[in-house]
Structure 1
């Protein structure tokens, strides 16, 4: 496999060049010379953005002598590129991005996960599409974000339907570009996650060929770096405690959470309520069973040549809890 096919092939030097004057410069300008900082990467949807908005983490970390710097990323692969480059200390993604990141040598450490949410990702087709089953995707074009959680959903759904991954065409697009291609008929199907999934199902009546139920777990994982875990384990624990607190609030107050998410994402609150109902929002320590399932993801990607080498998930886990 060509190194350039790996979505995490970005080098530390290249990332630094890309970030110069923006992300890293912003952190440097905002921090005092002797201030200790945890740099957290987040996406527009998920627990971390609510943690940021509510300001709870800053209060938890002040007694530890730490401030927080936040940086938004378009998707998990980009977030883990930043972690690989040493530009952030903590973040979260779905199950596929860390596989590519670990294969590219990123010093990531799994520090927690959210329970399975298989309904929170799906392979969609237009409402009037003649495609009725996953098997009908043979010879068709599927849009997806390369290296994302839905990449594994597509791989496993095809396997379940006895269709080879090489028997379909893939169009690697961001969620926004993929939706545009989907709406104009440039692709036959779209593998996507919530809340984009719920938005497409609601606003353009996109239809599910399948979701992850019975096929994949669709875990959400939380990460730090080996150096930061060793340097500040209490800070990592405090961030996870903040995540757990926000998760409990979301589960108890889905309407309020949807209303808070809505202006951040630009998606109406009723649609977000659908998406929130398909998630678990309950951070837990990594277990041997979760490691075993994540290893299956890694092995599948290696078999297909999507990552350049075999990896062991257990090498990147902070601590196992039985």
Structure 2
């Protein structure tokens, strides 16, 4: 049976895995699904601006396994999908932050009221903005979110929005052209981890395939950590130098889902519900399976 794995550049581990041929050694029948090819531009939820690639294709047969940031599994559970977390990375605070142009009068999250905030809506960036707003005593309704993706850096420099959730390698372009002010330290808001998840039914029916994917990802991460420049040359859209900077400043390796992470995700999920960005309250702990945690822990030994 074919195992369908979704991948895109922002999940660095899966991108490298796709291009190194590691998984095929243990799972010869792998179908790689480029998530950018699944994005039609039609938004499935106008409140989130959430592209279909971030959740629904896991349940309509598009793919079986995916890696993202913190937000997509929350929105998937919020839509009633029965997902299970597979693994998490270590914290990767250095990957991105909430910035503005220095000298424009915006100096803290409290200044966000009424401002246009550029972000990849429905990604981890939505979670960061919600947490920053909460810290300032503001809500989602106090800002004007601007949904931006590949051209975000240029649009920020062109003044289309006041504040931007920038991430590497795209922040490198902006840092080279403008003096930035960080509105809040990312590590004071959340751990900003990569994570991987799947559907409960698929995980229960394919434990061997799941184990093979986890072990292959661990191998891909070890290779990337040891060969960042070579890995950087696999990525599109930015220079190899920019991608190398992004790769060497983040942690590598998959870890079991921790109680700390579950609590952090639950706090974010509660904010999504309170803000009207998901329709139902969810319990993040329902998506944690001890047997899958065991598989991830064994892959680290």
Indicate whether the TM-score tops 0.5. Answer: yes
Give yes or no for the alignment of 1:43 onto 2:11. no
- 1:123–1:210 contact (8 Å) kept in structure 2: yes
Where do 5+ consecutive residues of structure 1 fail to align?
A: 1-35
Alpha-carbon distance in 2 for matches of 1:222, 1:303 = 25
Alpha-carbon distance in 1 for matches of 2:171, 2:22 = 29
**CA-CA distance at 1:128 after TM superposition:** 5.3
SS in 1 for 2:249: coil
- CA separation of 1:207/1:72 partners in 2, compared to 1, >3 Å: closer, same or farther? farther
**CA-CA distance at 1:226 after TM superposition:** 1.5
Q: Counterpart of 1:72?
A: 34
**CA-CA distance at 1:274 after TM superposition:** 2.2
Q: Counterpart of 1:316?
A: 287
- Runs of 4+ aligned residues of structure 1 deviating over 4 Å after TM superposition are 203-207
**CA-CA distance at 1:98 after TM superposition:** 1.0
The superposition leaves residues 202-252 of structure 1 with CA deviations (integer Å, 9 ceiling, x where unpaired) of 455554333412111111111121221111111111101111111112222
Where do 5+ consecutive residues of structure 2 fail to align?
A: 40-49, 295-301
Alignment of 1:287-302 (within 5 A): 287-302=258-273
- CA separation of 1:153/1:276 partners in 2, compared to 1, >3 Å: closer, same or farther? same
The superposition leaves residues 95-143 of structure 1 with CA deviations (integer Å, 9 ceiling, x where unpaired) of 0111111111223211111111122121122355332222222221101
- 2:83–2:287 contact (8 Å) kept in structure 1: yes
Quick one: which of 263, 267, 276 aligns to 2:238?
A: 267
How many pairs were matched up? 279
Alpha-carbon distance in 2 for matches of 1:85, 1:216 = 31
SS in 1 for 2:188: coil
Quick one: which of 149, 152, 155 aligns to 2:124?
A: 149
SS in 2 for 1:201: helix
Alpha-carbon distance in 2 for matches of 1:83, 1:194 = 26
SS in 2 for 1:213: helix
Q: TM-score, normalised to structure 2's length?
A: 0.85
